[in-house]
Amino acid sequence: MKARLMQGNEACAEGAIAAGVRFFAGYPITPSTEIAETMARMLPLCGGKFLQMEDEIASMGAILGASLAGVKSMDATSGPGFSLKQELIGYGAVAEIPCVLVNVQRVGPSTGQPTAPSQGDVMQVRWGTHGDHPIIALSPWSVRETYDATVMAVNYSERFRTPVILLMDEIVGHLRERVELPDSVEIYPRRQPKKTRAEGYQPYEPDEDLVPNIADFGKGYHIHVTGLIHDETGFPVGSPEVTEKSIRRLHEKIARVGEEIIHTYEYCMEDAEYAVVAFGGTARTAYETVRRMREQGKKVGMLRLMTIWPFADAAIKRVAKKVKGIVVAELNYGQIVHEVRRAAEGRCEVALCGKYNMKAFEPEEIEEAVKAMMEGGANK
């Protein structure tokens, strides 16, 4: 293990390669471009392929194609590009194609503020593509965790055969930190068919974990893949029963593992009377807020969400039972706060500390929000 000075976006690219990603298609967009640039340099060195496509949609299509052909694939973008990719994220979800899509968030809507930090895409990540679908989204807070979360995202995408979103923000994407990277990482291998064609192999027959073992293209299985609702054979079926069963299984294959993929971290929560809930780059500031307030003898802690979706209902409930109030700090007009409020079920006060002016939080701003709540004045 050698210490290196590295940027969050670079750590993302290196994590992807360590996790076995050998195909990247992308389109330049700030503040995610360094991921594509790093991939363009590194992938051919390890026999992988990088392709800058004609547009954002094409990039998403290309990674889905490469993944179907058995090569682990990734794409990275920011707000406007993320909007353009929405249809094909749904395609990946319903056709059950593993892939990782990185969204380094910037201020929106529309072209917005291209290089300024924001966390305004958390709800788009959940509901951006049309129709009911599951989604996994991870949001790292440091350069080293970006590396680990990228590996985790690749592994989850393979295990659950679903698109996984790495939800970064400009703060973490452009952050440079000293990191020590592991020599190797655990890799979830591509799932393989457990039956031959002669044994009646069906590409969308779910395994015990409700995930199908879809054969890679070019392995002689002659499978059909479509974005239409399909049965276990992979062919479209216009039946209410199959439609209901398919949509239910897509959700349950992820829901059934419950807390296992929901990563949250607590700081100074043992005796906390107030909690700050934060994620990504904002959690770095919130951590400093908590440190300062502890120095002042205030019983404040932090719950950091690394898994954004599925939402950490249990962790929020646990904290809500314990504290008098929760301040949700997020760089937007208020998005995750609604989820926190829902999960808290009225057990404690929940207030938003939102910011949407291109600037990252200052510790004092979050401190003020917590103090306002302590004084009973922040009941928004």
Q: Which residues here bind other proteins, judged by CB under 8 A?
A: 22-23, 25, 44-49, 51, 53-55, 57-71, 73, 87-88, 91, 215, 217-228, 235-236
What is the Cα–Cα distance from 75 to 98, expressed in whole angstroms? 12
Neighbours of 137 (CB within 10 A): 24
Shorter beta-carbon distance to other proteins: residue 66 or 326 = 66
Sign of the dihedral defined by the CA atoms of residues 172, 81, 328, 339, in that order = negative
Q: Which is nearer to other proteins, 86 or 113 (CB)?
A: 86
Q: How many CB atoms lie within 10 A of CB 132?
A: 13
> 109 preceded by cis ω (within 30°)?
yes
Task: Please report how close the Cβ of residue 25 comes to other proteins at its closest, in angstroms.
Answer: 7
Nearest distance from C-beta of residue 167 to other proteins, angstroms: 23
Q: Which CB sits closer to other proteins, 55 or 364?
A: 55
CB of 358 to other proteins, least distance (A): 32
Name the residue nearer to other proteins (CB basis): 228 or 255: 228
Q: Which secondary structure element, helix H or strand E, spans residue 134, and what is its range?
A: none
Nearest CA to 142 among 281, 267, 301? 281
Is 62 or 323 the residue whose CB approaches other proteins more closely?
Answer: 62
CB closer to other proteins out of 25 and 344: 25
Going by C-alpha positions, the residue among 77, 17, 25 that lies closest to residue 50 is 25
Contact 370, 274 (CB under 8 A): yes
- For residue 218, the minimal CB distance to other proteins (Å) is 5
* Least distance to other proteins, CB of residue 55, Å: 6
The gap from C-alpha 340 to its chain's centroid, in whole angstroms, comes to: 18
C-alpha span between 65 and 173 (Å, rounded)? 27
Select 87 or 313, whichever has its Cβ closest to other proteins: 87
CB of 249 to other proteins, least distance (A): 20
Q: Which two tokens stand for residue 328?
A: 């949700």
Q: How far is the CB of 226 from other proteins (least distance, A)?
A: 4
In the block, residue with structure tokens 């314990």: 322
Output the smallest distance, CB 61 to other proteins, in A.
3
Minimum Å distance from CB 20 to other proteins?
11
Which residue bears the tokens 């500031």?
285
Which DSSP string corresponds to 15-73? HHHHTT--EEEE---TTTHHHHHHHHHHGGGGT-EEEE-SSHHHHHHHHHHHHHTT--E
Tell me whether residue 114 or residue 227 sits nearer to other proteins (CB atom).
227
Beta strand 300-305 pairing with 73-77: unpaired
Task: Tokens 């640039």: give the residue.
Answer: 37
User: Sign (positive/negative) of CA torsion 64, 66, 69, 72?
Assistant: negative
Nearer to other proteins, 154 or 276 (CB): 154
